[in-house]
Amino acid sequence: YDIDNFVVGISRKRTAAPTPTDCEDEINKGTTGGGESWNDGNVVGVSMISPALNVHIYEPSFLVDLGGMSGGDPHDEKDTVPGGRMGAYLEADITDPSSPAQEFADMALVHRQVANLALAPGHDIADGRSDCQQFGMLLYQIYSGVSPSPATDALVTQSEKRGGEAESATQVCGCVSAPITRGDVDDDDEPASKRSTNRCHSKEGSAERCQQPYDASLREMGLPSSISMLVQHLIDGRSDLYPSLEAASKDLHMLLCDPECYLFDNHQVVSSSGPSSRLRIKEGKVYGRENEVSLITDAFCKVSSGKRVAFFIGGYSGSGKTMLVQSVKARVNAVGGYVLTRKIDEMSRERPFLDILSAFDNLCLLIRDENSPRALGSIKDRLLLEFENDFFVLARLLPNVTLIVPQLDSLTKEVQTEQINMNSYTVSFILQRFIRIVSSREKPIMLFLDDLQWAKSPALDLIYGILSDTRGSSCLLFVGSYRDNEVDEDHHLFELMVNLELCGVDSSTLHLSGLNSEDLNVMVSEFLCILPRICKPLSDIVFSKTEGNPFFALEFLRSLVDSRLLEFSLREMRWIWDCDEIIAENLTDNVLYLLTKKITQLPRNVQLALQVLSCFGIKANESIVGYLSSTLQYSNFSECLSLAIGERIIQKTDKDFKFVHDKVREASYNLIPDNNKSQFHHEIGILIYLASRGGDLGEAIFQIVDQVNMDLSLVKHSMQLDIAKINFSAGLAAINQGDFSTSHSYLTNALALLPKDHWRNQYDFSLRLFFVRAKAAYSCGNADEAKESLTTMIEKGHSLDDILGAYHYYIVILLVSEKREEAYEACCKVLSQLNRALPFSIDGVQATSIANQFEVSLSRMSNQDWYTIKPMDGARNKFIMKFYTILFIICFRDKANAAMVPMLAYQMIQFTLDHGLSSDSVIGLMQYAAIQSHLSIAHVQGAHRLGKVAMNLSKRFNQHEMVTNLYYYYYGFVATYTEPMQACSDMLRKAVEVGMSTGEFPAFTCFNTIFIVRCGMLGGENLSSLIRDTDYYLDLSRRFDHKLSQIYLSIYRGVISALIGKSASSSQSAVEEESIHSTEAHVTAVQISRLLVSFWQGHTERCSHFAGKLLRNKNLGSHNRVFVAFYSTLNSFRAIRSRNGAGSKYIKIHNIYPNAIKVLKSAERLSSWNYSNKVLILAAEYCSFEKKNENAKAAYAAAISSSCSSNFIHEQGLACELAGFHFRKIDENKDAMDFFNQAKDCYAKWGSQMKVDFIQEQLGKF
């Protein structure tokens, strides 16, 4: 029989193997070999050894000469050893199983020959003892150093024959022993530690000691109870426990695998007052969840490879969901990752949004503490680069980020709470950007949210927003647990799971049921430090009561301890129980009943303290405890909680007092009568409010207000205004942390508590409350409620100045909602009240005259004149500029009011010159520059100067308020002429990031996405990346419900798909058809998209058709006109080439080319980067047409070089393609093939498989 990894350490070793004669002497002396007593070789320990050693126990070789080989006839005297004890000698070889067999001879084999298993005359192997009994007697002799005596053997035999009490005793403790009484448990004349040292080494002493059962004898010598029980059961021949030596071997192996549990009796359970009721709980150990641990580990491995993964775990309360997640925590920490854990509380289910933000705020501390100075410096630099213009918003959400970037701490104090316009989308966007920077394959993040059944849609939307980051490379594992028996089918959680799968997040769902009986048996075994097969009857009872629920099983065992049905015996040094008594008690299978019973046995003041604590949820901030302790009613609150900590009902963390489990909190809360719960909550809230009034409540404000708000009808009339104001403060605190949903709830409560005469007696507070509530409602997507609050303000306001902010926000909501006509009328109305009335209409002649006069006036102003304009004074003047700005936006996009644009620009700038500079003055100046560039390329140079002036002036203000608007007008209309197209795209992306982060003018955020994609198409960005960005921006526009950007982006997406080589979807065709019947701008966008697609696909007739329509459009826009001229002219050259110079196209080219080259050269003078290559391509085509071959070759080479240096990879490919056709036309096929191959490479880099296939087709013609 092999026993792996097993060694018994003794202080003295035998020096020689015994001979048969020696063994005969040892039998008589009770010693083994050379006069040395085995008692003299004290057992000093049992341990595992590595590499593994095998112990082979078999009959020694010298028995061969005596005929003692196995298989002989035991009744044949020739086949027996002296004394008739066949097989009584064993030999043990300890070898290394990993060594090759041929090397065994070279190893130092340790031979220990243990003699005489029969031990006494008349007790030889022929008496019917099993192998297990023999092995048990061998172990007894090894551990005790003495031979089992006849008296002991007789005692065992007598015990086996007993019935009644002895048999019952066996069932009580799961082992053979003398009957145990309650006195054995509670008192003993001599401590076990002392008894273990009282050994008698004389023969008489040994015999006397062995008059008691073997396990008692071994315990007195200090051996662990687990070994003493094992030996006793083996000697007793308990085949129900040990049917074979294999079973005994497994138990020995288990002893060695967990010696702390099984080999060292836990004396800590013994105190001066008697045995403690504490079971041996292995904190953090997960039982029976190997497969589940493997699944969640696999999910983490995916994150480590650079993916976003979601893992959901469902199961009943107490099934071990949290413990399962904790099992992977060590793995995350081992690779240097970050673990974020938050529990969504039933009592704070209105604000889980804040819990998620709190988790990421704590991440900042982990980053600071777990990175080297060099790594921390790198993170800081990347954060500064990413959040260049909106770091203050990140710091608002995650205040601890200033610990990473301390030099920007001051930025967080510049913005008032009412100025923040964030919503759940902006918050998720900010966190996306943050996670991209701080997470990596080397530093993955695991976010664990427990109890998602309490989470409402805003928190789940935030989770979706974080995980649905399609642009970044964040390494994030989200793990969410929930009680699947407490969620309905329509719970938002299941919608989250579906949406995550749809957006490509690797998602998995796991259900945890109870442990099976075998795994529960192992758990109970380790709790009691008793081998599993010994405590199996008890664990079966536990399983039947708890269905394998780990938490319930633990509480059930504790209830047995409390009921003294499971006790620790000092005499036996182990836990004892009586299965019959436990079954007879008919204990409940309801864990809440057990916990309630336990709590109600505590002193009444402790029970009351637990009831109060449960009102705050799973935990309460220590400041709450402090406030309660300062009151007369709960002056001993802290002391009561300390007693509860001693009873393991609650625990103290860094800043909180926390229940050890949800069910414990539920049991405490259920002690409050249902009809008194609201009153109980309310009284606690009022008590803490009065105790804390005037102090800085910090995060505790939410817990205090939640108590009072449990039933607002209980608020006394005299307290209503006070409670309204603390709700308002809580609402502001929630907004400050980006949680508008929670804020809206608090502000609505504040509104409900206002007295009827609040507009008269609380006017200022009412104005502020209604305005902040409007912003919270709009941020939650409730525009109608926001407009209702603003309308009330406008009606109740005492003066126009008091309600200008409400007017402005109301008009912004109308504008974003695409209700431009209503917004226009509202702007004109308020400007009229401000004595800035506008004419009802203006004709084209008047508009042109005003524009010309205005242009002359502006040309006379130097840059320095602009820079020396004084700041604007007065809130009224600043609001006038805001209304002008909105009107300009409306008229700029509305053909019916287009004639008003020059007059509005004039009035804005003139008002600035008269009253000073404001942030809206800067935007107005930039708007004028944009309209000038849009109208004519001849105005671009002057517009560029004004645009640069506006960009410099913006530095005098908080740029985050202006970036979205400024960048839209400058990089969307002006800089596309003067700065690299790719740079314009990058700056527009920054504008989107700032707009998403701040929530300022979401319409402009969406407008910027249109220009990003447009610049990407014209600038030659990789098409695969561009279509991913377009999809991302489409999703963004849908979230903001911005119809205009959805139309444009859908049209552009169709172009990109066609260029890649994919056909347009039916939805795309529907969008184009809808656009044709929409505004003129939409029709123009569709025509330009069809022009581009038909050109690149080589459809000359279709391209010519759309080019003609566009060029006849007087409102085309100067920048669009440049590109239409470029592509339409190239299309004409292609038509001539396909017809070998025949037809009307040949005649028209002499008119088309000069006009196009004139337009392109005008643009080239503004930016050679953007337009020189286009001029060269047209020139090369014209030279080829004129058969000026050498000039054409030079022009093609220059065009290719210019396109390459400007990073227009698509136009580099186009120049190579056209050069290939030219060289093939003049029969220089080798050069033609080279150019076609270059074109193929360029188109492959561009990502256009359609063009790659086309070039491959041309190469096939050679």
Per-residue pLDDT reduced to its tens digit, 1185-1216: 999 999 999 999 999 999 999 999 999 999 99
Residue 302: pLDDT band (50, 70, 90) is: confident
* pLDDT value for 39: 40
Does residue 989 surpass a pLDDT of 80?
A: yes
- The reported pLDDT for the residue numbered 471 is 67
Instruction: Provide the pLDDT for residue 132.
Output: 85
* pLDDT tens by residue, 784-818: 999 999 999 999 999 999 999 999 999 988 987 87
pLDDT over 70 at 895, yes or no:
no
Would you say 1080 and 1115 are in contact if contact means Cβ atoms under 8 Å apart?
yes
**Cα 568 to chain centroid, rounded:** 44
- Per-residue pLDDT of 526-546, as tens digits, reads 999 999 999 999 999 999 999
Q: Which of 582-596, 890-904, 1234-1248 has the highest mean pLDDT?
A: 1234-1248
Between 849 and 632, the higher pLDDT residue: 632
pLDDT of residue 413: 53
Confidence of residue 90 (pLDDT cuts 50, 70, 90): very low
- Report the pLDDT averaged over residues 328-341: 85
Question: 6 pLDDT exceeds 50?
Answer: no
Band (pLDDT 50/70/90 cuts) for residue 412 is: low
CB 193 within 8 A of CB 267: yes
Q: To 10 degrees, what angle do helices 800-816 and 875-893 make?
A: 20
pLDDT at 207: 29
pLDDT band at residue 1262 under the 50/70/90 scheme:
confident
pLDDT for res 834: 93
Q: What is the band of 411 on the pLDDT scale with cuts at 50, 70, 90?
A: low
Instruction: Compute φ and ψ for 621, nearest 5 degrees.
Output: -65, 145
At residue 390, the pLDDT reads 77
Asked whether the predicted pLDDT for residue 54 surpasses 90, the reply is no
Collapsing DSSP states into helix, strand and coil, what is residue 316? Answer: coil
- Does residue 7 surpass a pLDDT of 70? no
- Range 401-416 burial, b when 16+ CB lie within 10 A, else e: bbebbeebeebbeebe
CA dihedral over 1234, 1237, 1241, 1246, signed as positive or negative: positive
pLDDT at residue 905, as a whole number: 81
* Confidence at 204, pLDDT banded by 50, 70, 90: very low
Longest pairwise C-alpha distance within the chain: 138
CB-CB neighbours of 557 under 10 Å: 25
How much of the chain exceeds pLDDT 90, in percent? Answer: 43
Does 863 have pLDDT greater than 50? yes
Instruction: State yes or no: pLDDT of 72 exceeds 70.
Output: no
Phi, then psi, of 769 in degrees rounded to 5 = -65, -45
When comparing pLDDT for 171 and 327, which is higher?
327
Helices (H), 287-423: 290-304, 321-334, 352-369, 373-386, 391-397
b/e code 216-251 from CB counts within 10 Å (16+ = b):
bbbbbbbbbbbbbbbbbbbbbbbeebbeebeebbbb
d(CA 214, CA 176): 9
Q: To the nearest whole percent, how much of the chain has pLDDT over 70?
A: 78
pLDDT band at 76 (very low <50, low <70, confident <90, very high): very low
Q: At 1068, phi and psi to the nearest 5?
A: -65, -45
pLDDT at 985: 93
Q: Is 14 a residue whose pLDDT tops 80?
A: no
DSSP code of 1062? P
Q: Which helix (H) or strand (E) holds 450?
A: strand 445-450
Which three-class secondary structure state does DSSP give residue 1077?
coil
Categorize the per-residue pLDDT at 416 as very low, low, confident or very high, splitting at 50, 70 and 90.
Answer: very low
Question: Using 50, 70 and 90 to split pLDDT, how confident is the model at 1014?
Answer: very high
In terms of pLDDT, which residue wins out, 1012 or 739? 1012
Model pLDDT, residue 362:
92
Does the structure show a pLDDT above 80 at 559?
Answer: yes
pLDDT value of position 93: 43
Predicted confidence band at 1137 (pLDDT cuts at 50, 70, 90)? confident
pLDDT-based confidence at residue 149 (cuts at 50, 70, 90): low
The pLDDT score that the predictor gives to residue 277 is 53
What does each C-alpha distance from 686 to 755, 1031, 1089, 1175 come to in angstroms? 19, 51, 65, 78
pLDDT higher for 551 or 103?
551
Task: Determine the pLDDT at residue 128.
Answer: 47
Supply the pLDDT for residue 106: 34
pLDDT at 868: 92
Give the residue-averaged pLDDT of 169-178: 38
Write the CB contacts of 323 (distance below 8 Å, at least 6 apart in sequence): 284, 285, 286, 289, 550
pLDDT at residue 64, rounded to an integer = 41
Q: What is the pTM of this model?
A: 0.73
pLDDT at 73 over 90: no
Give the pLDDT band (50/70/90) at residue 348: confident
637-659 burial, b at 16+ Cβ within 10 Å, e below that, comes to beebbebbeeeebbeeeeebbbb
Phi and psi, residue 339, nearest 5°: -115, 120
Q: DSSP readout, 937-966?
A: GGGHHHHHHHHHHHHHHGGGS-GGGTHHHH
The owner of tokens 């953090």 is: 284
Tokens describing residue 1048? 């444009």
pLDDT at 150: 47
Angle at 1091 between CA 1088 and CA 1093, to 5 degrees: 110
Q: Provide the token pair at 858.
A: 């502006």
C-alpha distances out from residue 715 to 287, 710, 722, Å: 50, 10, 10
For 922-939, how does the pLDDT look when each residue is reduced to its tens digit (9 = 90+)? Answer: 998 998 899 889 888 988
- pLDDT digits 0-9 by tens, 437-454: 999 888 899 999 999 998
Question: What's the confidence (pLDDT) of residue 408?
Answer: 65
- Provide φ and ψ at 447, rounded to 5°: -105, 115
943 or 102, greater pLDDT: 943
The SS3 of residue 113 is strand
Compute the distance between CA of residue 194 and CA of residue 197 in angstroms, rounded to an integer: 6
- Measured CA to CA, the distance from residue 36 to residue 1207 in angstroms comes to 93
Residue 31 scores a pLDDT above 70: no
The set of residues, in sequence order, having a beta carbon less than 8 Å from that of 334 and lying 6+ positions away, is none
Q: Lowest mean pLDDT of 218-227, 273-282, 843-852, 1229-1238, name the range.
A: 273-282
Residue 46 or residue 1016, greater confidence: 1016
Specify whether the backbone of 742 is left (phi greater than 0), alpha (psi in -120 to 50) or beta. alpha
Q: Select the more confidently predicted residue: 151 or 458.
A: 458
pLDDT computed for residue 857 by the predictor: 76
User: What pLDDT score does 609 carry?
Assistant: 95
pLDDT of residue 896: 66
Q: Which amino acid is at 184?
A: D
> Once rounded to an integer, what is the mean pLDDT over residues 575-603?
87
Tell me: pLDDT of 370 over 80.
yes
Residue 392 pLDDT grade (very low, low, confident, very high; cuts 50, 70, 90): confident
Give the model's pLDDT for residue 19.
Answer: 45
* Structure-block tokens of residue 366: 């982990």
Over residues 102-116, the mean pLDDT reads 31
Backbone angles phi, psi at 1116, to 5 degrees: -60, -35
Pairing of strands 566-569, 308-315: unpaired
Length of the chain equals: 1262
* pLDDT higher than threshold 90 for residue 201: no
Q: What is the strand order of the sheet 656-659 is part of?
A: 619-621, 656-659, 650-652
| Torsion of Cα atoms, 331 then 334 then 335 then 337, to 10° | 80
List the alpha helices (DSSP H) in 18-64. 20-29
Instruction: Give, as one character, the DSSP assignment of residue 346.
Output: G
* Cα-Cα end-to-end distance for the chain: 81
Q: Which of 386, 390, 388 is nearest to 422 (CA)?
A: 390
Q: Look at 110-114, 550-554, 1142-1146 and tell me which has the smallest mean pLDDT.
A: 110-114
Q: Using an 8 Å Cβ cutoff, are 708 and 687 in contact?
A: no
Whether the per-residue pLDDT at 28 is higher than 80: the answer is no
